[in-house]
Structure 1
């Protein structure tokens, strides 16, 4: 039977960045999108689009991060994005 769970935020990050499986193994809830992964604005936009496609239009990552101040955005973690997705699906 095929795995029917939606891809995790980390899996979608790997997809939008084009990284390999080894890279994915190093991602955890405390991994910072900017400080650890050096995610650029286009990759963040692509992640938001993939999250909305997978989880529905209630997941508006771009809208959420637009309301964050710069210091908060720089420390945003994979776990916090996951919590946001969970709360909006």
Structure 2
């Protein structure tokens, strides 16, 4: 399957210090660029950024990188279904 989102390595302490699951941290880093850093996206995602993180997580699940389930993004939760 063609991938639209890469799977960057993210330091475990980056995710832990933000009470965010590693998969969400990976998706946030995957969509970050020179205009919006991972920190900015984590702290105040736009609607499009939130949607892109959700799409990345779904793609990771389809490709077997993560399991279906609920993933923490700070105080928020993103659900990933088995598509």
Normalising by the smaller structure, the TM-score range is: 0.3 to 0.5
If asked which structure has higher relative contact order (CA below 8 Å, sep 6+), I would say: 1
TM-score by length of 2: 0.41
Higher helix share: 1
Structure with bigger gyration radius: 1
Higher strand share: 2
